[in-house]
Amino acid sequence: MPTAKPSSRLSHILRFTFFVLLLTSCSPTPAPFPTETATLSPPILLTPDTVTLDTETPSPTPIPQNPRPQYTLDVQFNYSTKTAIVNETIVYTNNSPDTLSSLVLAVEPTCTQSFTLNGMAINGVPTSNYIFDYRNAQAYIRHRLEIPLPEPLAPNGQVTVQINFGLILPIVGNFSDEASLCSQIYGYTAQQINLVDWYPFIVPYVAGKGWILHNPWYYGEHLTFEAADFDVAVTFTDGSLPVIASSGEEVSDPAATTRRFRIEAGRTFALSFALDYRVVTKNVGDVIIHSYYFLPYETAATAVLNATAQSFEIYSQRFGPYPHKTLSVVQGDFNDGMEYSALYYHSKGIYNNYDGTLMNHLTAVSVHETAHQWWFEQVANDQGFEPWLDESLATYSEIVYYETVQPDVLTKWWWTYRFDPYVPLNQVDSRIYEGDGQRPYWNKIYLNGAHFQQDLRTRIGDEAFFAFLRDYLAQMRGKIATTDDFFRILRQHTSADISDLITQYFQNPH
């Protein structure tokens, strides 16, 4: 899309602002929040004082050479009330061979009823033409936002979507219904605020399959992310000065009122704020690794930093280079871990149980989550339907780490500690919905997935196995790999018969 002239840009802004104000005055009162969130501040309703479309950056200049989606997010965050007003702009290029009549976005905060849509514009023109039942649909399906386009979007065509929305963060893990699916990290705790999967994003469109958006499930991740560029600005409207952990590299002065972060070719942009974060830092080459933690966990946080940095070096050598400038580890104020772009959360309980050795969950999970910066962040996959692609490789990367740092003792320990206690289950190629429970799901996808990788390596030899992994990364970096891609690229590196392994480990022929 060509850059709008200043005069037409201004008229678009005025029209959009007018539309937002109109929407505010005539929109019905938001649906009541669940009792679990009754103690939160009332929903944000935009008023003339709070509606400020960013007049400085309303129409990002498209970069035709860069077909990745471009996300600009301007976050006005009230730390005291845990609420935000966000101006979001997405410049989206149709990279598919199909002409698109609409866009489909995932809006995950709807699951916890913490989202309010205030206004939307397409190519600068306000619109209320969208399909979005986010107040009434059941929690696990209300996240689908479909926006019919005013004109069909041809291949290589570009469209700009502006969305103004409000967030009222939930308490992490404070739901007993389906919303618990979506608040295991997103929200706030006594010490910490976590913005993960917090903004509407355009889900991947795959020719022949359509838009890739699956429902949340009780275990396993359901989202699939295109690689995109992010420019995120955060202003604390109540004057708070928390420490910020972020997916992006900071491009502002840390003392500035508005803090700004950028990442290129990231999958999903996470932010975490806390007044009491401490941080230990290490450089690996020109990449800065941060380990954010709470007192009194400095020893464990330093072990996390060291394991992350050491595995980072090993994976860079064995698989291929890391593309970003920072990597942040955040100690969760909850018992869960999860990977995001250039950032992962680490479970609080694991810090508590650290015993000072490498043979413990703290190290194993650190190197697992670090591996997701290769298998998830660089090579993405449909996590709902083909979770084995990233999880079997992230789990197997634990072996690659341990066999490198202390081959004899630690590798044997890994199988004894991480694998043997659990019932091995085949069906490595199950969807998250076929797991039959959290533990069987882990056993199938993570553990037997890793065992398949080990047997594959034994069958084809180290040289072919690592040549394959390097090539898989090189060919699929920035893309969304499928099981077919995995085996197609594998067969470019070996002519060994692996049909018995596939029969042993997989439900379907590959």
Percentages helix, strand, coil for the chain (3-state, rounded to 5) are: 30, 25, 45
Q: Which amino acid is at 306?
A: N
Per CB under 5 A, the segment of 75-83, 234-242, 329-337, 388-396 that binds Zn ion is: 388-396
Task: Check residue 234 for interaction with Zn ion (CB under 5 A).
Answer: no
CB-CB contact of 404 with 481 (8 Å): no
Contact 123, 159 (CB under 8 A): yes
Q: Is 425 helix (H, G, I), strand (E, B) or coil?
A: coil
What is the 8-class DSSP label of residue 7? H
Task: Identify the CA nearest to 287 among candidates 327, 251, 344.
Answer: 327
Question: Measured between alpha carbons, how far apart are the two ends of the chain, in Å?
Answer: 42
Select 115 or 340, whichever has its Cβ closest to Zn ion: 340
Q: Which is nearer to Zn ion, 93 or 443 (CB)?
A: 443
Distance, in Å, from the CA atom of 118 to the CA atom of 116, rounded to the nearest integer, reads 6
Give Cα 345 distance to the centre of its chain: 11
Site string for Zn ion, 178-207 (x = CB under 5 A): ------------------------------
Smallest distance, Zn ion to C-beta of residue 378, A: 14
**Closest distance of CB 394 from Zn ion, Å:** 4
Find tokens 């600068």 and name the residue.
124
Kindly report the CA angle at 338 between 377 and 382, in degrees rounded to 5?
A: 50
Shortest distance, position 372 Cβ to Zn ion, whole Å = 6
Q: Which stretch binds Zn ion (CB under 5 A): 59-67, 271-279, 384-392, 450-458?
A: 384-392
Residue with tokens 């780490």: 401
Q: CB-wise, 377 or 391, nearer to Zn ion?
A: 391
* Pairing label, strands 480-481, 380-381: parallel
Residue 130 or 422: the one with the smaller Cβ distance to Zn ion is 422
For Zn ion, the closer of residues 394 and 460 by Cβ is 394
Which of 202, 250, 242, 252 is CA-nearest to residue 100? 202
Burial 189-223 (b: 16+ CB within 10 A, else e): beebbbbbbbbbbbbbbeeeeebbbbbbbebbbbb
Q: Could you tell me the smallest distance in angstroms from the CB atom of residue 478 to Zn ion?
A: 20
Token output for 404:
């490198």
User: In the complex with Zn ion, which residue's Cβ is closer, 274 or 338?
Assistant: 338
Nearest CB to Zn ion, comparing residues 360 and 397: 397
Cβ 396 to Zn ion, closest distance in Å?
11
127-135, 377-385, 387-395, 447-455 -> range binding Zn ion (CB under 5 A): 387-395
Nearest to 260 by CA among 488, 72, 468: 72
Return the residue nearest Zn ion (CB atom): 394
Backbone angles phi, psi at 191, to 5 degrees: -115, -10
Find the shortest distance in angstroms from Cβ 402 to Zn ion.
Answer: 16
CB of 391 to Zn ion, least distance (A): 5
Using left for φ > 0, alpha for ψ between -120 and 50, and beta otherwise, residue 113 falls in: left
Tell which positions 456-475 bind Zn ion, by CB under 5 A.
none
- Looking at beta carbons only, is 338 or 410 nearer to Zn ion? 338
Per rule CB under 5 A, count of chain residues that contact Zn ion: 2
Q: Return the range that interacts with Zn ion (CB under 5 A); candidates 69-77, 190-198, 346-354, 390-398.
A: 390-398
Shortest Å distance, C-beta 366 to Zn ion: 12
Q: Which is nearer to Zn ion, 44 or 394 (CB)?
A: 394
264/391 with CB nearer Zn ion = 391
What's the Cα-to-Cα distance from 89 to each of 83, 213, 229, 367, rounded to whole Å? 20, 21, 12, 35
* Min CB(398)–Zn ion separation in Å: 10
CB-nearer residue toward Zn ion: 175 or 374? 374
CB of 393 to Zn ion, least distance (A): 9
- Interaction of residue 394 with Zn ion, rule CB under 5 A: yes
Contact window for Zn ion (CB under 5 A) among 28-36, 244-252, 389-397, 464-472: 389-397
487/218 Cα distance (integer angstroms): 29
Task: With H, G, I as helix, E, B as strand and everything else as coil, classify residue 203.
Answer: coil
**223 lies in the site for Zn ion, by CB under 5 A:** no
Cα separation, 1 vs 419, in Å, equals 53
Min dist. Cβ of residue 502 to Zn ion (A): 23
Binding site for Zn ion (CB under 5 A): 391, 394
